[in-house]
């Protein structure tokens, strides 16, 4: 467990953390006692000394050192709510966030982590997720990377303040981290247009990859350096895109579909997943014909130099090139 030093908010934060864990347990997000222990121990507030909340016309900044004691109390309370927090703005747009804790818990659980596993996190953000991984697996078994030096420098300082010391690497997550490979687990906290081939090459056989794709979370099991397959989790997920060498996501076209069709979050998932390879009206007809399928019916296969998404069966009638 990390050792926190000189934290004037420690007592209030411990109580706030207990409340957050209770919320996550009530939502069924912490079925594994090992991850429950991690969320109970890791102080989220040390990783978000300031953050941005969306308000009408822009963002509001809350920060630890606000001269107003009521604002400081608000900063601490919101830091332990089950909500995402913006931590980096560039030209008015969010480029990095601290993810919603319940979503993080679901993704970490999907990794099926075991003692001794080595993990690579793509998208360091605040460093909080890396601290949870380090608490579960140990510092020496965790690598986290981000493209921007200012993000990795800040995350390293946050991790140190909380008493965790995983490897923090500045680099392009789309290229993985060959110097620290092989990995048993890869988890991404940024949205992918497709699965980078090099990730599979840096995994041990049987490794698990959990990453946002379209507006869902994909869980892959790696067979070997060129093959992996898996399905989507039930949850929706919206992350900032993976930057660097990753290809740009295909443009999502609505083709003049009526508003009532686009109101369905599950249809928008299919529309995004098949962007560039399926006409929007064809996608809508398929979605209705197949009973408006939930995310768990979709999956992705990587093999023989290609990738495709599918409904129900990777060899079935409904499949689409991924990231076309």
Helix then strand count (H, E) for the chain reads 10, 14
The residue annotated as part of the active site, out of 99, 102, 126, 319, is 99
State how far the Cα of 186 lies from the Cα of 138, in Å rounded to an integer: 15
State how far the Cα of 116 lies from the Cα of 243, in Å rounded to an integer: 30
Q: Does 99 participate in catalysis according to the annotation?
A: yes
- Residue of 204, 170, 195, 203 whose CA lies nearest to 302: 195
Which ranges in 202-254 belong to alpha helices (H)? none
Distances (CA, A) of 115 to 39, 138, 184, 207: 17, 9, 11, 14
Q: How many CA atoms lie within 13 A of 235 on its CB side?
A: 21
Torsion angles phi and psi, residue 75, rounded to 5: -55, -50
Contact at 8 Å (CB) between 176 and 198?
A: yes
- Residue of 89, 93, 1, 80 whose CA lies nearest to 46: 80
Tokens encoding 238: 């919206």
Contact at 8 Å (CB) between 103 and 188?
A: no
Q: Annotated active-site positions, please?
A: 99
């Amino acid at each position: 467990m990390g050792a926190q030093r000189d934290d004037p908010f420690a007592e209030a934060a411990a109580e706030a953390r207990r409340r957050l864990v209770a919320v996550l347990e009530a939502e069924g997000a912490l079925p594994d006692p090992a991850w429950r222990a991690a969320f109970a121990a890791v102080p989220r507030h040390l990783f978000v000394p300031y953050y941005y909340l969306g308000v009408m016309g822009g963002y509001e900044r809350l920060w630890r050192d606000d001269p107003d004691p009521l604002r400081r109390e608000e900063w601490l309370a919101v830091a332990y709510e089950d909500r995402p927090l913006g931590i980096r703005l560039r030209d008015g747009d969010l480029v990095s966030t601290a993810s919603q804790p319940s979503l993080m818990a679901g993704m970490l659980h999907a990794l099926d982590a075991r003692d001794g596993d080595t993990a690579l996190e793509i998208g360091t953000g605040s460093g909080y997720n890396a601290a949870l991984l380090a608490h579960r697996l140990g510092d020496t078994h965790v690598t986290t990377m981000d493209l921007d030096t200012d993000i990795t420098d800040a995350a390293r300082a946050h991790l140190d303040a909380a008493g965790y010391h995983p490897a923090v690497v500045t680099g392009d997550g789309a290229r993985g981290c060959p110097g620290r490979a092989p990995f048993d687990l890869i988890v991404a906290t940024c949205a992918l247009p497709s699965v980078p081939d090099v990730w599979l090459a840096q995994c041990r056989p049987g490794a698990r990859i959990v990453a946002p794709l379209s507006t869902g979370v994909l869980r892959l099991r790696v067979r070997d350096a060129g093959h992996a397959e898996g399905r989507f989790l039930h949850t929706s997920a919206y992350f900032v895109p993976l930057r660097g060498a990753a290809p740009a996501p295909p443009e999502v076209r609505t083709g003049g579909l009526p508003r009532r069709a686009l109101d369905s979050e599950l249809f928008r998932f299919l529309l995004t997943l098949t962007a560039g390879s399926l006409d929007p009206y064809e996608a809508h007809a398929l979605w209705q014909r197949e009973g408006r399928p939930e995310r768990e019916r979709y999956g992705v296969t990587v093999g023989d130099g290609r990738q495709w998404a599918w409904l129900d069966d990777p060899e079935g009638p409904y499949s689409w090139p991924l990231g076309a």
